[in-house]
Amino acid sequence: MKTLKQKALFAAVAGATALTAGSVGAVTVNDSNLTGQVLIYPYFTARNGQVTLVSVVNTATAPKVVKVRFLEGKNSAEVLDFNLFLSPSDVWTGAVVETADKSGAGIVWSDTSCTTPKNPGGVIPFSNAAYAVAYDGVAADSSALGTLDRTKEGYLEVIEMAEIVPSSALGRDVTHVAGKPACLITPSDDLVAANLGFIAVSTVALTATGTVATGTTVTTPTFTYTTTGNSTTTNAVTVTTGGSTVATTLTTTFTTQGSGTASVSASTTTAAGTFTVGTSTVGNVSASALRAPSGGLFGNGTVLNANGSSTGYNATALDDFWAAAGQNNQYTPTVVKSGSNYPNIAGNVQLGGASFSSTQSLVVYNNLAYLSSWAYGIQAVGASLMRDRVMGEYAFTTDGVIGTDWIITMPTKRYHANSSTSNAVYTVPVPPFSVLWNGNTGGAGTSCDTIGFTGVDREEAGATAGGAIFSPAPPGSSGSALCYEANVISFGALATDKASRVTSSVNFAGLGATAAIQNGGVSPIPVGKEGGWGRLTFPNGAMNTSQVTLGYAAPNAFNSTTAISLINVTQSTTSNTTYFGLPIVGFVFSGAAYNAGNPAQNYSNSYHLVYGRKIQ
């Protein structure tokens, strides 16, 4: 039940949105029930014998089609995607595992939900094509960075492309009946229209007439349906006539895929007589089985350790991601073929195309609801995830048995820090990020953003990290840095470690016993006092609503913020608002691995990081 103040706030938000962009849709992190149109899973790993289980849940009463995309952790290059068709109330599950030859990772599932491509069975290996060679307008990384080992850790996105009309042929096909969907007409890649790679699904009937001899059975010629660049053929249709010569009309039904014109033309002579199929033309195929995304997705990740322990996390949910009716870049429900980088969380549905995600963000800070209008949808996503500080607990032991890893993932970074993208060629990084990815320009494969860290032990003695505690540091900087898109901060790691203590990540930064981060700056940290809480800050991170710097046409001309009081629902509007920090999702992952003596005491656990904001 909504309170009077809540109702007034919702009305005020709707009114403010109408003033700024003509719509009530604004991207927001749904912290209340963790459901949305987009899910971001901060981390997966298949390193050191670990397995990551992934689930996607559809709480809606209608089927949905979603894009499931896995991205490696250094620079968010895609390593695999597929289209997943979810029944009402459906749950899909899969597992990220190491491949048999241990060169990389892959995904395996036995779930019966329909997918495109169809599940071939066994482990489907992840690919390095998006970074080992030039791909989708992005230059290849160096050969040293092009190995499949990069696919063993990263994060994933699930993006709702459309809701499916339950009564449509496609809706019936993907809905479970007696525990299993038919998956007979689910769009398959070989039938996707070549232009743009979109799938529009509807049903058309093509007819043919002919004269059939008395009392005979005649099989008609093959019917062929053609779209732009593609065609598909039905089985021949058989008719048995009655006791006299008759004019017979035959009908065959196609579940069409792609936008185009359908026609059929053929003739044949049989021993029983002649049957001629004329030409029948059907208008452009529409996406009549699809309707606007409605959200209601949630999901979880669970990491199974080789030592017998496991832990899990909730996916971060973005609601009102797509531009709604009334916005100038309104999204039309579209299914993009698998094997494509699209749609993405920037709202692009094709290479070099416009963005159709909402260009507004809704964030609550200091008893104010900030409704900001941005030039680009990716900025709205970034604003909704912006954190100026990240806080959490940690514990470790100097013998390496107990450790804590903080997962710090930056899912929008690739749209601001790639030296080359499909929509722009950057020569400088775009705020809020400060350093370009250098893996495809002869560098070590980093994009390092300066951070600050302060730790406090359990007896309230604190210290601020100094020098290059995190490694590697950005060029010319003496401070600490995080250099990847899915980062791991490893508490308890030693200077000689090649991987983090808990997740075995190679994309890690270490804070060990010699790091002067607590106990008043004492180094090494005294045995038995290795634990406390820490604060991570991002001194160079900031993004302003006036920025129009992404190198391609901005879908939105409005760049303003309306701040709505949660106390008295008053409003104020400004055209120059700054969000401080960096867009972050993540969690804390701690564990103990007693390799000898106490294996029954192995454990893992996870919990939320605590975030702070700053908007002015």
Residue 127 within a domain: no
Q: Between 480 and 197, whose confidence is greater?
A: 480
Q: Are 363 and 341 in contact (CB under 8 A)?
A: no
Would you state the pLDDT for residue 37? Answer: 98
- 378 pLDDT higher than 90: yes
The confidence score (pLDDT) of residue 24 equals 55
pLDDT (tens digit, 9 = 90+) per residue, 513-562?
A: 556 565 555 556 666 667 789 999 999 999 999 877 666 667 777 788 99
| Domain-located, residue 561 | no
* Distance of alpha carbon 458 from alpha carbon 512, whole angstroms: 17
**Pairing relationship of beta strands 531-537 and 542-544 according to DSSP bridges:** unpaired
Residue 273 falls within a domain, yes or no? yes
Answer yes or no: is pLDDT of 421 > 60: no
Please tell me the predicted confidence (pLDDT) of residue 223: 43
Q: Are 319 and 32 in contact (CB under 8 A)?
A: no
Provide the mean pLDDT of the chain. Answer: 78
Take residue 428 and report the two structure tokens written for it.
Answer: 């400088």
Cα 76 vs. chain centroid, distance in angstroms?
A: 11
Q: pLDDT higher for 549 or 21? A: 549
Between the alpha carbon of residue 601 and those of residues 307, 401, 490, 597, 604, the distances in Å are 10, 11, 21, 9, 10
Q: H or E segment at 224? A: strand 224-227
Q: Which of 201-215, 394-408, 494-508 has the lowest mean pLDDT?
A: 201-215
Please tell me whether residue 82 adopts helix, strand or coil conformation: strand
Q: Which token pair is 555?
A: 């879908």
pLDDT at 221 over 60: no
Tell whether 265 and 408 lie within a shared domain: no
* Domain assignment of residue 577, yes or no: no
The pLDDT, as a whole number, for residue 117 is 87
Phi, psi of 6 (to 5 degrees): -65, -45
Q: What is the helix, strand, coil percentage profile of the chain, to 5?
A: 10, 40, 50
Quote the pLDDT of residue 42: 98
* Per-residue confidence band for 401, with pLDDT thresholds at 50, 70 and 90: confident
Q: Which residues contact 5 (CB under 8 A, 6 or more apart)?
A: 566, 569
Instruction: Give the model's pLDDT for residue 598.
Output: 65
The whole-angstrom separation of Cα 290 and Cα 335 is: 9
- The reply to whether 575 falls in a domain is no
Quick one: pLDDT at residue 234? 42
Q: Which of 237, 257, 277 is the last residue of a domain?
A: 277
- Name the 3-class secondary structure at 150: helix
Domain that holds residue 459: 386-540+587-612
Residue 26, CB-side half-sphere exposure with 13 Å CA sphere: 27
Report angle CA 323, 56, 403 to the nearest 5 degrees.
110
CB atoms within 10 A of CB 360: 32
Please give the average per-residue pLDDT across 394-412, as a whole number: 90
d(CA 16, CA 383): 18
| Mean pLDDT (whole number) for 404-422 | 86
Strand partners, 318: 29, 38
Select from 245, 277, 309 the last residue of a domain. Answer: 277
Checking if the pLDDT of 499 tops 70, the result is: yes
What is the arithmetic mean of pLDDT over 37-56?
97
Q: How far apart are CA 590 and CA 396, in angstroms?
A: 9
Q: How, if at all, do strands 124-125 and 105-108 pair?
A: antiparallel
On whether residue 437 sits in a domain, the answer given is: yes
| Domain's final residue, options 277, 303, 334 | 277
Give the pLDDT confidence score for residue 285 in this predicted structure: 32
245 compared with 550, residue with greater pLDDT = 550
Maximum C-alpha span of the chain: 103
Q: If we measure between CA atoms, which residue out of 175, 583, 193, 87 comes closest to residue 383? A: 583
Question: Mind giving me the DSSP string for 250-264?
Answer: EEEEEEEESSS-B--
- Evaluate whether residue 26 is within a structural domain: no
Q: What tens digit of pLDDT does each residue of 84-101 get?
A: 999 999 999 999 999 999
What single DSSP character describes residue 460?
Answer: S
Strand order in the sheet with 368-373: 360-365, 368-373, 561-565, 571-574
Task: Count the helices and strands in the chain (H runs, E runs).
Answer: 5, 43
| 271 and 412 together in one domain | no
Number of domains forming the structure of the chain: 2
Between the ranges 209-213, 323-327, 527-531, where is the mean pLDDT highest?
Answer: 323-327
Q: What is the pLDDT of residue 463?
A: 54
Q: What is the bridge-based pairing of β-strands 508-511 and 486-491?
A: parallel
- Distance separating alpha carbons of residues 523 and 449, to the nearest angstrom: 25
Instruction: Check residue 552 and give its pLDDT.
Output: 64
Residue 386 pLDDT greater than 60, yes or no = yes
Q: For residue 524, is the peptide bond before it cis, meaning its omega torsion is within 30 degrees of 0?
A: yes
Domain shared by 268 and 392, yes or no: no
Check residue 474 and give its pLDDT: 42
How far apart are the C-alpha atoms of 133 and 144, rounded to whole Å?
Answer: 12
pLDDT-based confidence at residue 211 (cuts at 50, 70, 90):
low
pLDDT of residue 15: 53
- Going by pLDDT thresholds of 50, 70 and 90, the confidence category of residue 220 is very low
Domain-embedded: residue 237: yes
